[in-house]
Protein backbone atom coordinates (compact mmCIF):
# COMPACT_ATOMS: atom_id res chain seq x y z
CA UNK A 1 0.00 0.00 0.00
CA UNK A 2 1.03 3.58 -0.48
CA UNK A 3 2.91 4.86 2.58
CA UNK A 4 2.66 8.57 1.74
CA UNK A 5 -1.09 8.83 2.27
CA UNK A 6 -2.90 6.02 4.12
CA UNK A 7 -6.24 7.33 2.83
CA UNK A 8 -5.21 6.71 -0.78
CA UNK A 9 -5.10 3.11 -1.96
CA UNK A 10 -4.32 1.74 -5.41
CA UNK A 11 -6.48 -0.99 -7.02
CA UNK A 12 -3.63 -3.50 -6.79
CA UNK A 13 -3.31 -2.80 -3.06
CA UNK A 14 -7.04 -3.29 -2.54
CA UNK A 15 -6.87 -6.60 -4.45
CA UNK A 16 -4.09 -7.81 -2.14
CA UNK A 17 -6.03 -6.64 0.91
CA UNK A 18 -9.19 -8.51 -0.16
CA UNK A 19 -7.17 -11.65 -0.93
CA UNK A 20 -5.50 -11.45 2.47
CA UNK A 21 -8.89 -11.08 4.17
CA UNK A 22 -10.37 -14.05 2.32
CA UNK A 23 -7.39 -16.16 3.34
CA UNK A 24 -7.63 -15.00 6.97
CA UNK A 25 -11.35 -15.81 7.20
CA UNK A 26 -10.75 -19.18 5.53
CA UNK A 27 -8.04 -20.03 8.07
CA UNK A 28 -10.18 -18.84 11.01
CA UNK A 29 -12.86 -21.28 9.83
CA UNK A 30 -10.21 -23.98 9.64
CA UNK A 31 -10.82 -24.57 5.94
CA UNK A 32 -8.25 -25.64 3.39
CA UNK A 33 -8.13 -23.99 -0.02
CA UNK A 34 -9.75 -27.15 -1.38
CA UNK A 35 -12.67 -26.80 1.03
CA UNK A 36 -13.29 -23.16 0.16
CA UNK A 37 -12.87 -23.83 -3.56
CA UNK A 38 -15.47 -26.62 -3.45
CA UNK A 39 -17.91 -24.56 -1.39
CA UNK A 40 -17.45 -21.57 -3.71
CA UNK A 41 -17.59 -23.59 -6.94
CA UNK A 42 -14.20 -22.38 -8.17
CA UNK A 43 -10.96 -24.16 -8.95
CA UNK A 44 -8.30 -24.56 -6.27
CA UNK A 45 -5.75 -23.08 -8.69
CA UNK A 46 -7.85 -19.92 -9.18
CA UNK A 47 -8.34 -19.53 -5.44
CA UNK A 48 -4.60 -20.02 -4.82
CA UNK A 49 -3.78 -17.40 -7.48
CA UNK A 50 -6.18 -14.98 -5.82
CA UNK A 51 -4.79 -15.54 -2.33
CA UNK A 52 -1.17 -15.20 -3.45
CA UNK A 53 -1.41 -12.44 -6.07
CA UNK A 54 -4.76 -10.71 -5.57
CA UNK A 55 -5.70 -11.53 -9.18
CA UNK A 56 -9.23 -12.90 -9.64
CA UNK A 57 -12.43 -12.31 -11.49
CA UNK A 58 -15.18 -10.45 -9.72
CA UNK A 59 -17.21 -13.66 -9.97
CA UNK A 60 -14.56 -15.60 -8.02
CA UNK A 61 -14.39 -12.94 -5.31
CA UNK A 62 -18.18 -12.91 -4.95
CA UNK A 63 -18.38 -16.71 -4.88
CA UNK A 64 -15.68 -16.88 -2.20
CA UNK A 65 -17.46 -14.20 -0.16
CA UNK A 66 -20.73 -16.13 -0.47
CA UNK A 67 -19.08 -19.37 0.64
CA UNK A 68 -17.60 -17.51 3.62
CA UNK A 69 -21.04 -16.01 4.48
CA UNK A 70 -19.78 -12.49 3.77
CA UNK A 71 -21.56 -11.64 0.50
CA UNK A 72 -23.92 -9.11 2.14
CA UNK A 73 -20.89 -6.88 2.77
CA UNK A 74 -20.84 -6.08 -0.96
CA UNK A 75 -24.39 -4.61 -0.93
CA UNK A 76 -23.35 -1.04 -0.24
CA UNK A 77 -20.32 -1.13 -2.52
CA UNK A 78 -20.61 1.60 -5.18
CA UNK A 79 -24.12 2.56 -4.06
CA UNK A 80 -25.13 5.97 -5.42
CA UNK A 81 -24.93 8.81 -2.92
CA UNK A 82 -28.11 9.90 -1.20
CA UNK A 83 -30.04 12.60 -3.04
CA UNK A 84 -29.62 16.06 -1.56
CA UNK A 85 -32.96 17.44 -2.76
CA UNK A 86 -36.36 16.55 -4.21
CA UNK A 87 -35.19 17.91 -7.57
CA UNK A 88 -32.24 15.54 -7.57
CA UNK A 89 -34.54 12.61 -6.79
CA UNK A 90 -36.86 13.60 -9.63
CA UNK A 91 -33.93 13.97 -12.04
CA UNK A 92 -32.72 10.46 -11.17
CA UNK A 93 -36.20 9.04 -11.76
CA UNK A 94 -36.60 10.73 -15.16
CA UNK A 95 -35.71 8.66 -18.23
CA UNK A 96 -32.28 9.56 -19.63
CA UNK A 97 -32.11 11.86 -22.64
CA UNK A 98 -30.43 10.04 -25.54
CA UNK A 99 -27.79 11.96 -27.43
CA UNK A 100 -26.06 10.83 -30.59
CA UNK A 101 -22.33 10.98 -30.85
CA UNK A 102 -21.81 11.76 -27.21
CA UNK A 103 -18.60 10.48 -25.71
Is the pLDDT at 50 greater than 90? The verdict is yes
Return the domain boundaries, the chain.
1-103
- Confidence grade of residue 1 (pLDDT, cut at 50, 70, 90): very low
How does pLDDT run across 67-94, given as a tens digit for each residue?
A: 999 999 999 999 988 889 999 888 888 8
CA distances from 65 to 14, 40, 70 (A): 15, 8, 5
- Global pTM value: 0.78
**What integer pLDDT is reported at residue 7 of this predicted model?**
75
- Return d(Cα 50, Cα 63) in angstroms, integer: 12
CATH number of 1-103: 1.10.260.40
Amino acid sequence: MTDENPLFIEPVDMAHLLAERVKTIRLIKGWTRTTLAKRAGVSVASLKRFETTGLASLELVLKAAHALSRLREFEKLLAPPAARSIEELEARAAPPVRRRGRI
